[in-house]
Chains A and B, each alone.
Chain A
Amino acid sequence: MSVLLILEASNGKIKRASWEALAAALRLGPAEGITAVVIGAQTEELAAEAATKPVGRVVRVEHPLLAHYTADGFCIALQQLIQIEGTTQVVIFAHTYQARDYAPALACRIGQVLIGDVVGIEDGPVFTRQLMQERLNGSYRHSGGGPCFVSVQAGAFRADGIDAQPKAASAPITTFAPTINSAQIRTRPGEPFRGSAQTVDLNSAQRIVSVGRGIKDPANLPMVQELATALGAELAASRPICDNGWLPMERQVGSSGQTVAPKLYLAVGISGAIQHLVGMKGSQCIVAINKDSDAPIFEVADYGIVGDLFEVVPALTEALKAAKQ
């Protein structure tokens, strides 16, 4: 199977999600058939990194106009590459924000349709993706001639198994210089920036650690803050905590505060009264820590730990720090 694996880099390193896409690609065929692609203006180091992985070859798509990501630049460059390659059967991406921005356009230029956000690959190949807010699975198949475009959901395939795969010492690297002129790049991207550091923006936080009355004393908040930091999460609270002034009102989650829907919501010492629930029930994954096994929060939680939060929270912080290693 001739697979074109498009790697994405961030801060000079290939993203983990791209290696997960490699793991997915290895399901489709052996490493020899996989051509890893790095794109940019300076791709030497990226290519070297890619060459150490179980891939058949590495292609550097390099052009000054590809220094910053633009949909036009990447589409033009990759379309030319695919044309030159000629025999590609599958083009595979990690399903990142960037890939979502240009891969469908690229596929369209080649008369194809992306099968995006794939969570499983069966023989066929048949690609599985989730429908109806992850309540159903759909099996997709590509038909007709031309390459099949696939993007792979982050975390659906494990990247850590790759290095154990048999591979050649180092894959050969070639360079391809696409023809792009600046008039073809129609969008002007600016520098990335963070949301304002001053204001608390719970709405855009991907992870939130929320405290309730179980915390008992404001002196115990630093312990929870440590957990939040280890998790890369924002700190939030239920109403009584904000009422007491232990945390500012902007951090209140609930019917009279903010409504949030992060990927991960960790409720520490929160009982789960309705006024709080309505503010966070949309969270993708809810974890509850409470010493009362009957606390209503456990009804909506995906994972729960019934225990003393003064023991569980530090233990969790430790475990997270260890996992980062």
Chain B
Amino acid sequence: MKIIVAIKQVPDRDAPVRIALSANWIDERDLQWAMNEPDAYALEEALLLKEKAGGEVIVLSAGPERVGSTIREALAKGADRAIHILCDDLSARDALGVARLLAAAIKPENPDLVLTGLQSEDVGLGQTGVIVAELLGLPHSTMILQVEKIEAGFKVKRELEEGWFQSIELPTPAVLTMQSGGNNLRYATLMGIKRAKTKELRTVNAAELGVDIGSVVMLERITAPIKQKSTQILPGSAREAAAALVEKLKTEAHVL
């Protein structure tokens, strides 16, 4: 079975982010980068499938030079080979533009399954995987926790709202976007890193893929929200505080 996992390198979740001077993206200097977490779960699911049924796991990522480190991490964790779409203006493209690049690289590979994370930790659009499916004319499903290979294709466990789940059957080939937490991530090992040195990492320039880079949606400006970071201590009697809390949870935190 040939599985392609599309991963994205995103800024380290914990690091403070600053807005770039141009105000249309973040300041990328001094940032630490890491693999997008849902993509890590997608990779893990792919590796588990390979371990069970045999086959090949190919890792695909678009981005500038620095993305190489995340790709090598994926190779170290067990992917067999990798494709790096060298692209310096990823943040300027909309989801369709990015999906076009990925689809163009995936198409000639004719995979049985394409996995990617549900959404990215930076822009969090959650659409790229779905659009890739559409561009490739493949069936898809999202919010997937587990994938099982069956006779007719795949049987997957999809997460629904409010603690419900659903099983879905899809034919092969298909595209799935993976939710975090469906499996246990493996850590990078010394042996994995050593082996990764001999694995193929093919670089292709974005321009070579010949896709239309026009944007339909534009990210014009980035601002910092006026959000208090400090703890709000709700005063008053037990009753008053409780009522205030319920109000805040509904209107401010949107968790009720």
Q: Please give the residue numbers on chain A whose beta carbons come within 8 Å of chain B beta carbons, in ascending order.
A: 71-72, 96-97, 100-102, 104-105, 108-109, 111-117, 126, 130-144, 146, 153-156, 186-195, 203-207, 263-264, 284-285, 287-288, 293, 298-299, 301-308, 311-312, 314-316, 318-320, 323
Contacts and interface: CB of A to CB of B under 8 A. Distances in A.
Contact of A187 (B124, B169, B222): B169
Nearest to A156: B254
A304 B248 CA distance: 11
Contacts of B245: 287, 303, 305, 316, 319
A132 B250 CA distance: 23
Nearest first, the 8 closest Cβ-Cβ pairs linking A and B are A155-B254, A186-B139, A104-B127, A190-B167, A311-B238, A315-B242, A104-B130, A316-B242
Nearest to B216: A113
A263 B255 contact: yes
B96 A285 contact: no
B222 A137 contact: yes
A131 B222 contact: yes
A136 B26 contact: yes
A287 B241 CA distance: 12
Contact of A302 (B122, B217, B253): B253
14 contacts: A72-B139, A102-B130, A133-B121, A135-B224, A135-B225, A139-B220, A143-B218, A144-B216, A189-B166, A189-B168, A193-B167, A194-B164, A287-B249, A305-B245
A302 B220 CA distance: 30
B95 A104 contact: yes
B140 interface: yes
Contact of A207 (B17, B19, B255): B255
A63 B122 CA distance: 39
Nearest to B118: A100
Contacts of B131: 104-105, 108, 113
B47 interface: no
A312 B242 contact: yes
Interface in B45-80: none
B89 interface: no
Contacts of A114: 95, 125, 127
Contacts of A315: 238-239, 241-243
A75 to B, nearest CB: 8
B105 to A, nearest CB: 17
Contacts of B22: none
B219 A138 contact: yes
A194 B161 CA distance: 11
B151 to A, nearest CB: 13
B111 interface: no
Contacts of B166: 189-193
A108 B135 contact: yes
Interface of B: 11, 13, 17, 19, 26, 94-96, 99, 121-127, 130-131, 133-135, 139-143, 159-171, 181, 215-225, 231-234, 238-239, 241-243, 245-246, 248-250, 253-256
B242 A192 contact: no
Contacts of B135: 108
A206 B141 contact: no
B223 A101 contact: no
Contacts, number: 228
Given A97-B160, A315-B243, 18 more contacts: A100-B142, A100-B143, A104-B130, A113-B96, A116-B127, A135-B17, A136-B222, A138-B219, A140-B218, A142-B218, A155-B250, A192-B165, A264-B249, A287-B245, A287-B249, A318-B239, A319-B243, A323-B256
B241 A193 contact: no
A116 B126 contact: yes
A131 B122 contact: yes
B123 A284 contact: no
B239 to A, nearest CB: 5
B19 A206 contact: no
Given A315-B239, A315-B242, A101 B143 contact: yes
A155 B234 CA distance: 22
Contact of A132 (B17, B164, B232): B17
Nearest to A285: B253
Nearest to A205: B163
Given A101-B143, A186-B139, A140 B217 contact: yes
Contact of B163 (A146, A204, A311): A204
Nearest to B96: A113
B255 to A, nearest CB: 4
Contacts of A316: 242, 245-246
Nearest to A101: B142
Among B243, B246, B255, which residue has the most Cβ atoms of chain A within 10 A? Answer: B255
Contact of A303 (B167, B232, B238): B232
Contact of A97 (B17, B94, B159, B248): B159
B36 to A, nearest CB: 12
A213 B15 CA distance: 33
A108 B96 contact: yes
Contacts of A130: 124, 225
A105 to B, nearest CB: 4
B127 A323 contact: no
B249 A101 contact: no
Nearest to A136: B222
Contacts of B94: 113
